[in-house]
Amino acid sequence: MKLLKLLFAVGITVGCSQGSYAQTDTLRLTLPQAEAQFIQKNFVLLAQKYNVNSAEAAVQQAKLWYNPNLFAETNLFNGYTGKVLPYGKNTDPYNPASGVFNVQLQQIVSLSGTRSKLVRLAETNVQLQQAAFNDLMRTVRYQLAQTFGSLAAQQHKLTMLQLQKGQLESLLAAFRAQLKRGVIAPYEVTRLELEQNNLESDLAALKGQISQDESAMRILLSQSGVTYIEPVQEFATSESSVTLTALLDLAYANRPDLQVADKQVAYNRKNLVYQKALATPNLTLGADYQHVGGPFPNYVGIQALIDLPIRNKNQGNIQAAKLSIEQAGQGLNFNRLQVEQEVIAAYQQYQQTVELGAKITPDYLQSIQDIAKNATEDYTRRVIDLVSFIDKIRAYKDAQMNLIELRTQLFQAQQQIDFVTNTKVF
């Protein structure tokens, strides 16, 4: 692609001496390498992953049957004999001279399959949490790409300004020598020193921004200490064939936030089924054995226990579940509209950047390089005056800054399309 080739050439020009300011502990990373590291170590992603694991544990819990219930009872005091905890051999079963005890075993049985419905509800929640995790990963990855591109641009600008600073310092040293010999006027040196101070101010501001981006990158990569991160940008050499329709299809198919909204609807529908099942009460079956304390010396019986759903038929929770389905449906419609508009905006931004870059020609790039070179030579030979010289070096600096910004805008526009479609388009 014409724009990418031209801007990549600019990146080589301004970034060829980028290592000149790199510190001892420097971590050089491409964007894919940075993504791989942040996926493995990022604390936010690791914390969100626990939600998925918790939801999976809830599925295992939902599959478990109700535990049986065991009840045991004995008499503390025998009124006939006056003994406490009266245990011992009793030869007369009709004379309760020994201890009395009662044992019951009960088991809850679901009549409406609530356990299986709860399992399906929990399984849907796992899908919901996984989609939420994927959406968080998409967001944090985009934040990483933005910071990566911004840091690379700031470092390229720093390299360019440091080169310009070196050239200006060399020129100042020569002019100060000429000033001592009385060849030039003092105001020329003073004016160049003022320009040098302005450049120092720009460098200080740029270094402050780089420090902030470096800190943000270290947080995203979970990199402790003061390791200096140096992004290594890689660009495609050809333009990806992108159309708005294709991007929308990719977004609808792959956006995890859209999947979250869709899974929320499915979750609420399964919750409605579960709440309706809860309207049917559980049946408790059991058996009991009583020694001496019943109508017979050794009584064996069976039990059945069920709530009578006369007033409480879980109607409030059922109604709430129905409303939640409607609410989730509206949320899904909003998410689809939001996805559509985000894709349209990203596509338009990319097209505008491409159109802007199409105006950059090889002749324009060459003329930029000639400005600084010719300005220094012409001013040294007194072909131009000081005002024209300063104007030319400022024009060169602004042009280089604009080219770096355009290169960064293209990179960010590509990352934006990858973000809104959740697809590696570029």
Domains of the chain from N-terminus onward: 105-223+239-421 (1.20.1600.10)
Q: What's the pLDDT band for 79 if we cut at 50, 70, 90?
A: low
Q: What's the pLDDT band for 81 if we cut at 50, 70, 90?
A: low
The answer, yes or no, to whether residue 12 has pLDDT greater than 80, is no
Q: Is 236 exposed, middle or buried (0-12, 13-18, 19+ CB in 10 A)?
A: exposed
Contacts for 342 with CB less than 8 Å, ≥ 6 apart: 251, 420
The answer, yes or no, to whether residue 237 has pLDDT greater than 60, is no
CB 378 within 8 A of CB 384: yes
- Tell me the pLDDT of the chain averaged across its residues: 85
CB 300 within 8 A of CB 328: no
The answer, yes or no, to whether residue 236 has pLDDT greater than 60, is no
Q: What's the pLDDT band for 4 if we cut at 50, 70, 90?
A: very low
Q: What is the pLDDT of residues 319-352, one digit of tens each?
A: 999 999 999 999 999 999 999 999 999 999 999 9
The answer, yes or no, to whether residue 318 has pLDDT greater than 80, is yes
The answer, yes or no, to whether residue 2 has pLDDT greater than 50, is no
Q: What is the pLDDT of residues 256-291, one digit of tens each?
A: 999 999 999 999 999 999 999 999 999 999 999 987
pLDDT of residue 49: 85
Residue 138 or residue 45, greater confidence? 138
H/E element holding 259? Answer: helix 256-278
Pairing of strands 83-84, 69-74: unpaired
The two tokens of residue 119 are: 């399992």
% pLDDT > 90, the chain:
48
* Alpha-carbon separation of residue 49 from 1, 55, 113, 312 (angstroms): 40, 10, 31, 39
Find the helix packing angle between 186-220 and 386-421, rounded to 10°. 10
Residue 134 or residue 76, greater confidence? 134
Pairing of strands 26-30, 283-291: unpaired
Overall average pLDDT of the 187-208 stretch: 91
31-45, 47-61, 104-118, 339-353: the lowest-pLDDT one: 31-45
